[in-house]
C-alpha cells in the first residue's frame, strides 16, 4: 500500500495547522493512501486545543501499522521532542527537531518506492540560528541526504510550471553556478519529468537568459553565449524541445506563454514571482532528480496566522495529490 509521510516543518508556523484542518475535510477521508504525520504528540495536542479542533490522534510505531485516513483522525509517528510548542514565535531550539523529522521522512522514503514525503514550510533562518550554519533549504538538504548529483526544483500549478537552474543562493553567486553540463542535466531531468509525471508527450521548455535581454549577443553578459545556449544545443540534438535563452521580460507574454509547458529560470526570483502571482496557494513544489518522491507547499510559515485562523488548504492538497501520483 502507498503511504505518505508529512514532515510539518517549523513548529511555530502553519505546517501543523494545515494537517489539523485538513483532517476535518472530505479530501482527507477520500484519500486512498494514508498520511502519517511525523510530529511530537504534545504539539498536536497543544495546537488542536488552541485552534479548538476536536481531533483524534493515533500513534503508530512503524509505517506498516498505518490505516486509511479517517475523518478528524491523525495518525502520527513521534521521532523527537519539540522544545517549544508556541505558535507564531520562532525558537532556534526547535531547529534540530525540524531536521530530525525531515531526516526520518527522507530515510523512510529511500527504503520504499511506495513511500512518499510531503513537507510543510520551514523557516531557514531559524534552522541556521539553531546551529545548522550551512542549511540552505529543503531541496539542498534532500540532495545531500539522498546523495543525488543533480536535483531540480520544480513548482507546478494548473496555470504554469517553473524550474530553477540554481536555488537558494545569493544573487552574486548565481553566474558562478551556471555551468553548461549542469544545465544539460537539468534540462534532461525537467524534460523527463514533464513526460513521466505530467504525461506531456512532447514537452516544450522555455529557457530564460541570465542577463537582461538575454545578454544582447554578449553586450550585457556572455553567459548565454558561452554556457546557456551551448547547453540548449546539446539538448536539442537529443531531441528535446528547449528554446535558446530568451529574455525573461518577454518570455511570459502571449504566444510564448501558451506554447510553454515549463520555464527554466536561472535563479529563484526570476520565475517564482510569476508563479506566485498566477497561482499562489494553488501550486506545489516538487523535487526532481532524487530517488525519492518529495513534494511541498508553495508558501511560507505564515507566523502571523499560526494558531489563530484557518489557513488556505489549496497548496497542501496539491502537494499531497502530486505525491500520490508520483508513487509507483
Closest by alpha carbon to 56, among 73, 36, 77? 73
| In contact, 35 and 320? CB cutoff 8 Å | yes
As a whole number, mean pLDDT of residues 246-250 equals 94
Query: At a CB cut-off of 8 Å and minimum separation 6, what does 81 contact?
Result: 40, 42, 97
Q: Look at residue 254 in the predicted model and tell me its pLDDT.
A: 85
User: Nearest CA to 272 among 187, 184, 168?
Assistant: 168
Question: Crossing angle for the helix pair 15-22 and 41-50, nearest 10 degrees?
Answer: 70
Instruction: Extract the C-alpha cell encoding 151.
Output: 536535483
Q: Which three cell numbers stand for residue 220?
A: 550585457
**CA dist list (Å): 201 to 150, 196, 261:** 23, 9, 11
For the structural domain made of 1-148+290-328, what CATH number should be given?
3.40.718.10
Q: Average pLDDT of 17-26?
A: 98
What is the domain partition of the chain in residue ranges? 1-148+290-328, 151-289
CATH of the domain spanning 151-289, picked from 1.10.4080.10, 3.40.718.10, 3.40.250.10, 3.30.460.80: 3.40.718.10
Assign 15 a pLDDT band (cuts: 50, 70, 90): very high
* Two domains, one topology: 1-148+290-328 and 151-289: yes
* pLDDT band at 285; cut points 50, 70, 90: very high
pLDDT reported for residue 104: 98
pLDDT, tens digit (0-9, with 9 covering 90-100), for 305-325: 999 999 999 999 999 999 998
Q: What angle do CA 163, 164, 168 make, to 5 degrees?
A: 135
Mean pLDDT of the chain: 96
> Which tens digits make up the pLDDT trace of 68-123?
999 999 999 999 999 999 999 999 999 999 999 999 999 999 999 999 999 999 99
Tens of pLDDT, residue by residue over 130-162, are 999 999 999 999 999 999 999 999 999 999 999
Q: Where are the beta strands (DSSP E) in 46-203?
A: 56-59, 73-77, 115-119, 152-156, 161-164
pLDDT tens by residue, 201-239: 999 999 999 999 998 888 999 999 999 999 999 999 999
Amino acid at each position: 500500500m502507498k503511504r505518505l509521510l508529512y514532515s510539518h516543518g517549523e513548529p511555530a508556523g502553519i505546517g501543523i495547522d494545515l494537517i489539523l484542518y485538513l483532517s476535518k475535510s472530505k479530501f482527507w477521508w477520500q484519500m486512498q493512501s494514508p498520511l502519517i504525520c511525523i510530529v511530537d504528540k504534545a504539539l498536536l495536542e497543544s495546537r488542536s486545543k488552541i485552534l479548538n479542533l476536536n481531533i483524534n490522534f493515533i500513534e503508530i510505531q512503524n509505517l506498516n501499522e498505518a490505516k486509511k485516513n479517517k475523518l478528524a483522525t491523525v495518525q502520527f509517528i513521534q521521532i523527537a521532542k519539540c522544545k517549544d510548542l508556541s505558535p507564531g514565535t520562532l525558537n532556534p531550539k526547535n531547529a534540530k527537531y525540524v531536521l530530525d523529522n525531515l531526516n526520518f521522512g527522507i530515510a523512510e522514503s529511500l527504503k520504499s518506492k511506495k513511500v512518499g514525503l510531503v513537507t510543510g514550510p520551514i523557516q531557514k533562518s531559524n534552522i541556521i540560528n539553531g546551529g545548522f550554519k550551512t542549511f540552505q533549504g529543503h531541496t539542498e538538504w534532500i540532495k545531500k541526504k539522498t546523495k543525488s548529483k543533480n536535483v531540480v526544483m520544480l513548482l507546478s500549478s494548473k496555470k504554469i510550471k517553473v524550474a530553477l537552474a540554481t536555488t537558494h543562493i545569493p544573487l552574486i553567486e548565481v553566474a558562478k553556478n551556471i555551468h553548461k553540463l549542469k544545465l544539460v542535466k537539468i534540462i534532461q531531468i525537467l524534460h523527463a519529468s514533464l513526460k513521466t509525471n505530467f504525461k506531456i508527450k512532447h514537452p516544450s521548455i522555455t529557457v530564460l537568459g541570465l542577463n537582461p535581454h538575454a545578454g544582447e549577443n554578449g553586450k550585457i553578459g556572455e553567459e548565454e553565449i558561452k554556457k546557456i545556449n551551448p547547453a540548449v544545443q546539446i539538448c536539442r540534438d537529443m531531441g528535446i524541445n528547449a528554446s535558446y535563452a530568451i529574455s525573461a521580460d518577454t518570455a511570459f507574454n502571449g504566444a510564448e506563454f501558451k506554447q510553454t509547458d515549463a520555464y527554466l529560470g536561472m535563479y529563484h526570483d526570476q520565475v517564482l514571482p510569476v508563479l506566485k502571482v498566477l497561482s499562489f496557494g494553488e501550486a506545489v513544489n516538487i523535487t526532481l532528480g532524487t530517488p525519492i518522491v518529495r513534494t511541498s507547499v508553495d508558501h511560507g510559515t505564515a507566523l502571523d496566522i499560526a494558531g489563530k485562523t484557518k489557513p488556505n488548504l489549496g497548496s497542501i492538497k496539491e502537494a499531497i495529490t502530486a505525491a500520490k501520483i508520483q508513487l509507483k
